[in-house]
């Protein structure tokens, strides 16, 4: 299941689910997560959306990365709000996924526009650029986003 998700093989995903495979099986390459975790992390958008369509559970980062706005907004209620680090991770994810609407929403929720994850030295701007999300890249620039290389040039304490 994880291989099919991380290689965007929709036919294999469907066949595995039809044969009774566990859509929530842990053991992904990425943090031991689910097939959706691998599909999302490796940018296998067709597989990720198919897994959601087939009933895979989503977390905040999944919802943001895939631009599932109703689910994303559901994490922010009067009685509940994700921790700052989770918001930053989800913001990076939506930039990795090329999701401008999700990025704007999370920025309004206090996301750090220049947060760099511990798994790779890319800012949200870098992740959007790698995805080829030109509209998002332009929008991020207008919001003051910087690349990881630009951030490395800024002396600490400023």
Each residue of 105-131: pLDDT tens digit? Answer: 999 999 999 999 998 999 999 999 999
Q: Domain extents for the chain? A: 1-57, 58-158
For 32-56, the pLDDT digits (tens) are: 789 999 999 999 999 999 999 999 9
127 within 8 A of 117, measured Cβ to Cβ: no
CB atoms < 10 A from the CB of 119, how many? 10
Homologous superfamily of domain range 1-57:
Ankyrin repeat-containing domain (1.25.40.20)
Kindly report the backbone phi and psi dihedral angles of residue 77, in degrees, each rounded to the nearest multiple of 5, phi listed first. -125, 175
Q: What is the pTM of this model?
A: 0.91
Q: Does domain 58-158 have CATH number 3.40.50.12160?
A: no
């Amino acid at each position: 299941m994880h291989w099919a998700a991380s290689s965007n093989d929709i036919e294999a995903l469907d066949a595995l689910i039809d044969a009774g495979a566990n859509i929530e099986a842990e053991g992904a390459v990425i943090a031991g997560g689910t097939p959706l975790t691998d599909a999302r992390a490796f940018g296998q958008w067709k597989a990720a959306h198919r897994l959601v369509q087939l009933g895979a559970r989503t977390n905040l980062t999944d919802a943001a990365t895939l631009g599932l706005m109703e689910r994303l907004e559901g994490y922010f209620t009067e009685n509940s709000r994700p921790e700052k680090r989770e918001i930053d991770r989800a913001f990076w994810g939506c930039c990795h996924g090329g999701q401008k609407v999700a990025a704007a929403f999370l920025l309004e929720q206090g996301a750090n526009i220049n947060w760099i994850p511990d798994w790779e030295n890319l800012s949200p701007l870098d992740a959007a650029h790698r995805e080829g999300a030109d509209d998002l890249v332009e929008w991020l620039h207008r919001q003051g986003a910087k690349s990881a290389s630009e951030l490395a040039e800024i002396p600490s304490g400023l």
